[in-house]
Structure 1
Amino acid sequence: MSIKSGTGRRWGYAVAVWGVLFAIPSFLWAAGSTFGARSTVAPELVRLAQERVPWFLAVLWVTGFLKLLGAAIGLGLTRPRSPRLGRSLVFCGGGAAVLLIWHGGLFVLHGILVETGVAAVDPALAGLTRWYLYLWGPWFLAGGLAFAAATAHHLQSGGRRFAAAGALGALLLSAAATATGIG
């Protein structure tokens, strides 16, 4: 696999740092703290965390570990790997890039629509819209762009189809979650 010196590795390390930093709130909230959640996350989610609803705590723990897995994938994208592992990393990196860019883009687009008056939200949630526009949306976009760059630098000419398959799978998963009201 061809990884450009320095630059390609930096993107993988950026993914790793992003993943670890993003996992911290999940673990804090799963452990019982609502630090940072009350003003930046939907009240219903805060309520689920405060009431220690078991299935929601499980979701928080799982998402925290998935974010750490993303960090590990970022580290894996910093160096050439065996062809099988390299294809898996590229598949996951391409999927993560699309999923995060899509998700962050939806947050930003929704926030812009609300801020410009094109869309309306419950007045009690208006302040949250700004958090999603200025914090969560850009945070997801930054992670997605870092995954995209790390994956692109890791690719060799034969690996593009694995990145494309991961990206398409992530897009279909996200579209299905949005259509069913889950995401």
Structure 2
Amino acid sequence: MSIKSGTGTRWGYAVAVWGVLFAIPSFLWAMGSTFGARSTVAPELVRLAQDRVPWFLAVLWVTGFLKLAGAAIGLGLTRLRGRLAARSLAFCGGGAAVLLVWHGGLFVVHGLLVETGAAAVDPDLAGLTRWYLYLWGPWFIAGGLAFAAATAAHVRPVGRRFAATGALGALLLSLASTATGLG
């Protein structure tokens, strides 16, 4: 796999910064703080964190470490070494791009439907819907687009197959989890 410098490398670093910044709230909430959560996250999730529910704390720790893994993938995309590593990073980068854009897109579409009156939510959650529309949705989408740009900038055509495979797998996983109500 070839390595391109310049803009592509910057996208990899952008992914790394995005991942670290995104991990911070997960770790804070796992350690007992609800800083930033009360007004921006679903009340049920805030209650789970406040009540220190063990399985939810485990989820917070795991998601925090997954976000750091995403940061590491971003760094890896700036320095592809070896065929297997490059293909693995392309697979992960493509999958992350789709998962993040899909997830953020769902937040944005739902928020737009609520804002335009096409969908209704409990009035107590209307303000929260705006946070998902204007903060969380765009944040996920920005991360997904950064992953897509970093992955595309650092792989040759053979690596693009692996990125596309990761992207397709992520899309199918997302569709299945949405259809079953698990996502």
TM-score range relative to shorter protein: over 0.9
- Offset of residue 4 of structure 1: 2.5
- Find the counterpart in structure 1 of residue 24 from structure 2: 24
- Find the counterpart in structure 2 of residue 73 from structure 1: 73
- Find the counterpart in structure 1 of residue 63 from structure 2: 63
Kindly indicate whether the alpha-carbon contact (under 8 Å) linking 1:2 and 1:153 is maintained by their aligned counterparts in 2.
no
* C-alpha distance after superposition, 1:79-106 (max 9, x if no partner): 2311000000000000000000000011
Q: Tell me which moved more, 70-79 or 170-179.
A: 170-179
Moved over 3 A (4+): none
Q: Distance in 2 between matches of 1:123 and 1:67?
A: 32
* C-alpha distance after superposition, 1:160-179 (max 9, x if no partner): 11011100111111111111
The TM-score, its normalising length taken from structure 2, stands at 0.98
Kindly indicate whether the alpha-carbon contact (under 8 Å) linking 1:112 and 1:133 is maintained by their aligned counterparts in 2.
yes
Q: Distance in 2 between matches of 1:29 and 1:120?
A: 29
- Offset of residue 58 of structure 1: 0.2
- Offset of residue 10 of structure 1: 0.1
Number of residue pairs aligned between Structure 1 and Structure 2: 183
- Find the counterpart in structure 2 of residue 43 from structure 1: 43
Gap regions ≥5 residues in structure 1: none
Q: Distance in 1 between matches of 2:90 and 2:18?
A: 18
The TM-score, its normalising length taken from structure 1, stands at 0.98
Cα RMSD for the two superposed structures: 0.7
Q: Distance in 1 between matches of 2:175 and 2:147?
A: 20
Gap regions ≥5 residues in structure 2: none
